[in-house]
A and B are shown apart, each in its own frame.
Chain A
């Protein structure tokens, strides 16, 4: 079964810590995405990548960075975690656009910043 795997299901970090969220997909997908989901706000796009070493800002990139050194891995980095970054983080991957097959999501990382 094809998968998008996020390294942690639950994470608790302290304010000011540097946080790494890892995402790996085994579907040889070109596109990878990071969203956060908050009650009442829905899914909001943080960053996405269409190829290795390429990245594009989404709607809310402030306070985040990403890394894509290999096709299968897309990492989200919180440079200095803050309490307003407490959220559910969802990674997704897809085939190139135009193939109309939608995204496959990982099971999410629920991050709490204290």
Chain B
């Protein structure tokens, strides 16, 4: 049973495009949600937490849909430097560690 699932991509988009990723989770009791960015051969770095009401950080918008059990990440006005793998992470509850999706690969082209 895959607890956290993502479309692996790759998503190839031109500079300036808007791109969205979804991530589904299976445990309805999950309590906290995150998006991480991972560059090639580097460690994952926290991009943003995902709050129930949705949240925005510059060109990035994260949303949570508890009814359908998914989180989303929207990137507006894509930059070349946004090329990376984006991992979603879900905490199933207190006493548990984060479950990570396998990541979605994004390539932004000139």
Contacts and interface: CB of A to CB of B under 8 A. Distances in A.
Contact of A107 (B42, B89, B98): B42
Interface stretch (A11-19, A62-70, A93-101): A93-101
Given A41-B102, A43-B87, A33 B43 contact: no
A81 B44 CA distance: 25
For chain A, the bracket of interface size reads 20 to 34
B100 A107 contact: no
A45 B102 CA distance: 13
B94 A105 contact: no
A58 B100 contact: no
B102 A103 contact: no
Contacts of B94: 97-98
Q: Which of the four size classes fits the interface of chain B? A: 20 to 34
A42 B101 contact: yes
Contacts of A33: 97-98
A101 B36 CA distance: 12
Contacts of A58: 97
Interface in A100-114: 100-108
B32 interface: yes
Interface in A22-37: 33, 35
A102 to B, nearest CB: 4
21 contacts: A33-B98, A35-B100, A41-B102, A42-B103, A43-B44, A56-B97, A90-B44, A97-B95, A97-B96, A100-B49, A102-B46, A102-B49, A102-B89, A102-B98, A103-B46, A103-B89, A104-B46, A105-B43, A105-B44, A105-B45, A108-B42
